[in-house]
Amino acid sequence: MLLAAGPAIGPATAQQKTIKIGFVSTFSGPTAVIGNDMRNSFELALDHMGRKMGGIPVEVIYEDDGLKPDVGKQKTEKLIESDKVDFIAGYIWSNVMLASLKPIVDSKTFLVIANAGPSQIAGELCSPTVFSTSWQNDQTPQAMGTYMNSKGVKSVYLIGPNYAAGKDMLAGVASTFKGKVIGQDLTTWPSQLDFSAELAKAKASGAEAVFVFYPGAAGVQFLNQYAAAGLKGKIPLYTAFTIDELSLPLQKENALGVPGAQEWVNDLPNEQNKKFVADYRKKYTGLRPTFYGAQSYDAAQLINSAVVATKGNLSDKVAVQKAMEKADFKSVRGNFKFGNNHVPIQNFYLQDVVKDADGQLSLKTVATIVKDDQDRFHDKCPMK
Amino acid sequence: MTLFFEQCLNGLQFGLLLFLLAAGLTLVFGIMDLVNLAHGSLYMVGAYFAATFAAWTGSFVFGAVLALCATLVVGMAVEVIVMRRLYGRDHLDHVLGTFGLILFFDEAVRLIWGPAGLSLPLPSWLAGSVQILPGFQYSSYRLAIIVVTLSVAAFLYVLVMRTRIGMLIRAGASNREMVGALGVNIKLLYTLVFGLGAALAGLAGLMQAPILTVQIGMGENILILAFVVTVIGGIGSIRGALVAALLVGILDTLGRAFFPDILRTMLSPTAASALAPALSSMLIYLLMAIVLVIKPEGLFSAGNK
Amino acid sequence: MSGAFTARNVATAALIAGLVLLPVYSQVFGDRFILTLFTRIVILALAAVSLNLILGFGGMMSFGHAAYLGIGGYAVGMLAHEGIYSGFIQWPVALLASALFALVIGALSLRTRGVYFIMITLAFAQMAYYLVSGLARYGGDDGLTIYKRSQFIEPLNLSNKVQFYYVCLAILFGAIYLIWRLTNSRFGMAVQGARSNEARMRAIGFPTYRYRLVCFVIAGTLGGLAGALLANHADFISPATMYWTRSGDLIIMVVLGGMATPFGPLIGAVALLVLEEVLSGITEYWQIILGPLLLLVVLFARGGIDGLLSLLGAKVATKVNPKVGS
């Protein structure tokens, strides 16, 4: 009796009582700061909507992946099977995302990825119910490579961590950079803390510039050591995802004048962004939103746009999908559209670290590096 | 050639730092027979104290001294409240109990200082680089770490080999019961030794703080390396810890520096760049396995069990 | 294991009954997640039970047991990646690979004792961890998604959650029974004897090194089986499965539940993982509760939860398990 397959999940009621959203991110350990920023921004978006979507109250369940793929997958399953959520959002890490993808796709739950951008999900693993409000990993460093060309850089040394995103980043910069990649080092992630050996090699290689990708605290360590090794100001440093509002208070002067590429910067001149940044700083005193937060804010807006368009009837999956594909909301990065693989086609900007009016360090948009950039894996996605 | 020399210096600096951690670990291990996984937490606490006190006093050196004292106190408190109840118990009880302590310390630090981590800026007189040889610059702070740790190693040598406390420590490492039988206040000795170990861990933590970050969980990765050093050197042996720390530090640094290039000459560039970081991380564990297979009690075993 | 109604026996029986009836609860109340959660618990309990054979009974403090989880899991994952889905190939390969790994590292590690043994087993597990991290073809650090579970002949279908749960549970009980038989055999007595006094066992003619090695290989093989199950359960395998913290988790399950007892590791696995799940639901700072709790168990409940239950019983059952000495 028991071995017979259990009853299928009950049909979703046409008239929703609440919109249930599961949010998976890292809320424990050293990278909890990123998860907190994402949660803060998601909550702020809900505040802005009056905590209702299309007139229906919203309930969000936050789950901590602990930076572990298997834990992330288990929490994802809990959200789908136990909480029976309508949408899942979040995910910082490419490897956690890849591990959690299967139960989401199998259950046809709508997923809005607010950060992770592994090439597989942009390519062969793309799915009708999976959307991203971030980017594909390679895009940001590709923009950096383009910028380095414009600066006339002839040779570069690449350094990054040895995991999915790290390899994507270095491959991304090498794909657009026209000069010579003199050498590259992948370091053990996340346990390697000291980059003295790699910095010595970069210095000895005679490269004109160094490109680096180190998210979170590792970015602080790298910049500190770059300065301590006496390289700052001698060899120009180019970065992706290494300097943000979370790491900047720790990097301090070491980050001054170090350029990075980003799809969102806090000073982008659109109304939605001004409101987002101002209200964030008002609600969470002493904190500044990051691109992780901006992407999470957009994730909430994307979900809201679909709920409103379908008048809360989430049982019609095709209608929800069609509504989401329109990306009909005011993004904090300025409007974007989705490619066939549900990854945004968007601008990438050059950001720099400057001292603002109150003498504090802040990130500032300097230029637009590429316009309407689409990731290079969208051809591999079977969706048209 | 200068590159090789620089990498050796880097390895030396890393090794000496590991020595600070391993020295405390090996003393506690050798004398109290205690497996203390929470040693890394003391390293973290030292760094947090240093960052806090340096910000209060506005002086790096002041902050460091205050942090050392504070870590010493925390260490002795942990010994009195928890550790002394674990002496004489099974090693696995130590593992479980001190693992519980790690969880506690991590969360306590998060409650007190928040999840974001702190930074400990270098004073300007240490921030730059100095010319050691003509045409060869080296980070002054890393050089300072080498000098400080070498002085600590010398201090430990004098303490252990030339003082009465040191005599008791050495006696304790080889025969615990005998020291107790001699009427020495063994409880006090244990508290002092544990406090000393904590202070050494704290010193390592606060010296790493400016070049790494001060963050939760910073002690856990380096803890395993410190254990590796302790075991290669032989439990209870300060001299062994020093030799093993230098071996591990230099092997790790040189491995990372030159292994990828060597591998690239043998394999395709893509395969090499994927495999090299993994294999160079393996080197220290390989070293430990080889040492233990040949000498099952480490290079310099202090005990005579 | 006396048949009396001690608190310990009643609790163990209740736990077993609960595990057997869990799918019924899951079906009746429509809570599918509890089945997913407990499938994972049962699999990790199997790993803990296998670790207990060497850790508790054999006195071999291995800090590298997660390596077998990884090897078993990667055997399934790599074969699936190459298009071989048959469980009749995947599982034997998983078992064989784990056994072989255990044989090699056991032969080398068993030369050392005590903390040195802890560290050398850790070293080998870490080497295995870094090795798979370097295998770009199989996902490297990011791990490998497994799109099809191991295939057996109909009607056995591992994709059915209830079926898969019972398969795991049956294997767990089988392993507990096997280890119970083993530890009460002449071989098991000799291994346990060697734990407290190896010289004496050798003197009366037991080849202790070889016995311990066999014990080590059996435990590793069972660990590999748990790994094959875990990979099927998660549809995913990554190097993180064999990181040293996971080995630490397994040790904690064993010590928490009660070393050298047949059901202790199972109790420990259930207690630890359920506690984690419940506490993390209550507060984000759950580790500040769990940490001191573990410490309290060590300080005041010698012999883990199982030992605590024995104490609670009015009648103290005759213990099969002698005190663990160092």
Backbone angles phi, psi at A123, to 5 degrees: -105, -115
Q: Beta partners for A365?
A: A351
Classify residue B301: in a domain, yes or no: no
Pair (A213, A237) in one structural domain: yes
Q: Is residue B182 part of a domain?
A: yes
* C61 inside domain: yes
Best of C133, C142, C157 to disrupt the A interface (most A CBs within 10 Å) is C142
Q: Tell me which chain A residue has its CA closest to the CA of residue B215.
A: A30
- Chain segment C248-293, per-residue pLDDT in tens: 899 999 999 998 899 999 999 999 999 988 887 787 778 888 889 8
Residue B78: enclosing H or E segment and its boundaries? helix B60-81
Q: Is residue A13 part of a domain?
A: no
Which among A40, A157, A168, A193 is the top mutation candidate for probing chain B, defined by the most B β-carbons within 10 Å of its own β-carbon?
A193
| Residue C4 binned pLDDT confidence (cut-offs 50, 70, 90) | low
Question: Biggest alpha carbon distance in chain B?
Answer: 67
Instruction: Identify the three-state secondary structure at position C233.
Output: helix
C8 pLDDT exceeds 90?
Answer: no
Mean pLDDT of all residues belonging to chain B: 89
Residue C259 included in any domain: yes
Cross-chain Cβ contact B270/C290 below 8 Å: no
- ∠B290-B293-B297 over CA atoms, to 5°? 110
Domain harbouring A149, CATH code? 3.40.50.2300
pLDDT at C171: 98
Which residue type does B41 have? S
Q: In this structure, what DSSP letter does residue C140 have?
A: G
Summarised one tens digit per residue, pLDDT across range A331-353 is: 999 988 999 999 999 999 999 99
Helix axes A271-283, A32-48, angle to 10 degrees: 110
Between residues A336 and C232, the one the model is more confident about? C232
Mean pLDDT check: name the lowest of B123-137, C106-120, C137-151. Answer: B123-137
Task: List the chains bordering chain C where 3 or more Cβ pairs fall under 8 Å.
Answer: A, B
Tell me if B80 is assigned to some domain.
Answer: yes
Nearest-neighbour CA in chain A from C209: distance (Å): 36
> CB A196 to CB B216 under 8 A?
no
CB contact under 8 A, A193 and B212: yes
Facing residue for B271 by CB, picked from C109, C113, C136: C136
pLDDT of C3 reads 54
Show residues of chain A in contact with B6, CB under 8 Å.
200, 204
Domain residues for the domain of B41 are 2-294
Interface with B, mutate which of A163, A189, A224, A235 (most B CBs under 10 A): A224
Whether A120 and A181 share a structural domain: no
Band (pLDDT 50/70/90 cuts) for residue A4 is very low
pLDDT in tens, A47-80: 999 999 999 999 999 999 988 888 899 899 999 9
Contacts of A280 (CB under 8 A, 6+ apart): A40, A41, A44, A287, A288, A289, A293
**Does position A12 have pLDDT exceeding 70, yes or no?**
no
A168 plus A119 within the same structural domain: no
Same domain, A211 and A325: no
Facing residue for A217 by CB, picked from B7, B213, B254: B213
Instruction: Report how many domains make up chain B.
Output: 1
Number of separate domains in chain A: 2
How high is the mean pLDDT of chain C? 89
Which domain does C75 fall in, by range? 7-312
Contact C130 B106 (CB under 8 A): no
Average pLDDT of chain A, as a whole number: 91
pLDDT at position B269 is 73
Residues A174 and A145 in one domain: yes
Q: What pLDDT was estimated at residue B211?
A: 86
Poorest-pLDDT segment among B72-76, B230-234, C201-205: C201-205
pLDDT at C98 over 90: yes
A197: containing domain: 139-262
- What average pLDDT does this structure show over C14-30? 94
Residue A281 and residue A254 in one domain: no
| Residue A256: inside a domain | yes
What is the model's pLDDT at position C20? Answer: 96
Residues A131 and A277 in one domain: yes
**Nearest Cβ partner of B296 from C55, C116, C295?**
C116
> The domain that contains B44 carries what CATH number?
1.10.3470
Domain identity same for A194 and A213: yes
How many other β-carbons are positioned within 10 Å of the β-carbon of residue B38? 28
The pairing of strands A155-161 and A209-212 is parallel
In a domain, A125, yes or no: yes
pLDDT of residue B123: 85
**The pLDDT value given to residue A13:** 45
Nearest CA in chain C to A6: C27
Q: Which of C42, C81, C236 to mutate to test the interface with A (most CBs of A within 10 A)?
A: C236
Q: Are residues A323 and A227 in the same domain?
A: no
Q: What's the pTM value of the predicted model, to 2 decimals?
A: 0.88
Q: Is the pLDDT of residue A11 over 60?
A: no
Mean pLDDT calculated for residue range C62-78? 97
For residue C313, the model assigns a pLDDT of: 64
User: Does a structural domain hold residue A378?
Assistant: no
- The tokens describing C105, both together, are 């590292």
**Number of domains composing chain C:** 1
**CB atoms < 10 A from the CB of C188, how many?**
19
* Chain C residues within an 8 Å CB radius of A2: 23-24, 27, 162, 166
Q: Do A98 and C33 touch (CB under 8 A)?
A: no
CA pair distance A78, A332, nearest whole angstrom: 31
pLDDT confidence of residue C5 = 74
B13–A32: do the CB atoms touch at under 8 Å? no
* CB atoms B210 and A221 under 8 Å: no
Return the exposure string of A146-183: e unless at least 16 CB atoms fall within 10 Å of the residue's CB, then b.
Answer: bbbeeeebeebbbbbbbbbbbbbbbbbbbebbebebbb
Whether pLDDT at C317 is above 70? no
Domain closes at, from A312, A330, A345 = A345
- pLDDT of A190 higher than 60: yes
Classify C5 as helix, strand or coil: coil
Q: Which residues of A touch C (CB under 8 A)?
A: 2-3, 5-7, 10, 27-28, 64, 68-70, 73-74, 77-78, 81-82, 94-95, 98-99, 101-103, 118, 162-164, 167, 188-189
Q: Which of A28, A81, A188 sits opposite C36 (nearest CB)?
A: A81
Say if B302 falls within a structural domain: no
Whether residue A143 is found in the same domain as residue A244: yes
Q: Is residue B192 part of a domain?
A: yes
Confidence of residue C318 (pLDDT cuts 50, 70, 90): very low
- Count other C-beta atoms under 10 Å from residue C282's C-beta: 9
Flag whether pLDDT at B272 surpasses 80. Answer: no
Q: Are residues A159 and A251 in the same domain?
A: yes
Looking at residues C54-79, what average pLDDT do you find? 95
Judge if A242 and A278 occupy the same domain: no
